[in-house]
Amino acid sequence: MISTPHSVGVYVHLPWCIHKCPYCDFNSHEASQEKVRSIEEEYVDSLIDEFNFYQELIKDRIITSIFFGGGTPSLISPKLFAKLINAINKNFNLSETEITLEANPGTIDIKNFQAYAELGINRVSLGIQSFNDNHLQCLERIHTSIEAKYAIEVVNKYFKNFNLDLMFGLPNQSLDELKDDIDTAISFDPKHLSFYHLTIEPQTRFFKIKPKIPSDDDAYEMFNLVLAELKNSHFDHYETSAFAQPGHQCKHNLNYWTFGDYLGIGAGAHSKLSHDNKIFRMDNTKNPKQYITEVNKQNFFSNKASIPQKDLPFEFLMNALRLTHGFTKKTYSERTGLSFDDIKSNLHPSFQQDLLYEDHEILKPTTKGVLFLNEILHNLI
Ligand SMILES: C[S@@+](CC[C@H](N)C(=O)[O-])C[C@H]1O[C@@H](n2cnc3c(N)ncnc32)[C@H](O)[C@@H]1O
Ligand code: SF4
């Protein structure tokens, strides 16, 4: 039996960026600030319509987190965030909710950040990527290192809880340069840090014209440097790419990684909702204008499908194995409605290969397993 969780996370997608970065395969569309101004109100009205449509399904749940992601949410006017948050607040109590806004250091306006804080947004995630101007240029970021540092100071003024996103394994990046990035990031005392290994994704410009990136061995050495430096500074490495000071793990992402329910609204957003003993997925159309048209036509359930039971172990583990502190068998059963014993024999090779271990009902990837999650998943099939 699949239990319907008491909580749900809400993801809101804001799909525009001033410039499309050559490595990015997120659903983001290049648009000037003027173009965003011309369409944002209509788009936010569609977000509210979509949220209202799904309210019935989540009405008895607690919204534990709201994540405004992108794209570049910090391009949107504060008054529209007010409209959106008020619409959600109407029937849900958000007093304990983690509300995160993703921001790009090239779009920082002090007045806006003060307004975001007054609206109840209580966490900001800044896309820094690197503090090195050569790397920022190569990544075609719209900000310099000085602007990135200024952005952190502005955010720090209004938000005690903020995350910095950085990437490593950048074209021609040296270990010393990475160490400078890590040290600089730590010097701002962020509550949370995300360090992503740059991946060259299909459908990006970096895929067509491949830059020279560090070899796998060099990237591994870089990752180990990140782990060691952050451990020295008492950050808990709780997920493959995520590090937090005590008590500051990202609730929104933890919900994804434990295969919790989430409602995703906006162009290209995905939802996963459990009800009637099934788990459903919904995927929205990616183009923002098309999205507005579909919402106007109330075309919400066009792509709703339940996840077949045979796929649930893979789907659960693909997320939960990212958690370095592991997951309990109880969570597995609650979220999938299946008994953990049913997959034990499929996981046996992973135990034997020292990729996975069990510690008092908690399953964890070993240090080697963290690097070979695909191998564990492959053993499952
Ligand atoms: C959805 S993006 C949004 C952040 C914000 N738009 C920005 O870039 O400033 C979230 C994060 O994913 C990471 N990211 C994006 N593309 C990546 C890639 N190809 N490889 C690794 N990390 C990536 C970046 O660190 C980025 O900050
Ligand atoms: S600013 Fe962020 S979301 Fe936009 S293109 Fe660059 S990485 Fe992608």
Mention every residue, 6+ apart, whose C-beta is less than 8 A from residue 294.
Answer: 284, 285, 300, 302
314 lines ligand 1 (CB under 6 A): no
26 lines ligand 1 (CB under 6 A): yes
Q: How far is the CA of 229 from the centre of ligand 1 (A)?
A: 22
71 lines ligand 2 (CB under 6 A): yes
Beta bridge partners of 66: 10, 99
Region(s) of the chain under CATH 3.20.20.70:
7-256
Mention every residue, 6+ apart, whose C-beta is less than 8 A from residue 295.
Answer: 46, 49, 50
Q: How far is the CA of 24 from the centre of ligand 2 (A)?
A: 6
- CATH number of this structure's domain 310-380: 1.10.10.10
The domain made up of 7-256 has a fold known as TIM Barrel (3.20.20)
Report CA 46 to chain centroid distance, whole Å.
22
- What strands, in cross-sheet order, belong to the sheet with 278-283? 236-239, 242-244, 192-197, 162-168, 123-129, 98-103, 62-70, 7-14, 262-265, 270-275, 278-283, 305-306
pLDDT tens across the length of the chain (381 residues)? 777 889 999 999 999 999 999 999 999 999 999 999 999 999 999 999 999 999 999 999 999 999 999 999 999 999 999 999 999 999 999 999 999 999 999 998 999 999 999 999 999 999 999 999 999 999 999 999 999 999 999 999 999 999 999 999 999 999 999 999 999 999 999 999 999 999 999 999 999 999 999 999 999 999 999 999 999 999 999 999 999 999 999 999 999 999 999 999 999 999 999 999 999 999 999 999 999 999 999 987 778 899 999 999 999 999 999 999 999 999 999 999 999 999 999 999 999 999 999 998 899 999 888 888 999 999 887
pTM attached to this predicted model: 0.96
Region(s) of the chain under CATH 1.10.10.10:
310-380
CB count within 10 Å of CB 114 equals 14
CB 231 within 8 A of CB 224: no
User: For residue 97, is it left (φ>0), alpha (ψ between -120 and 50) or beta?
Assistant: beta
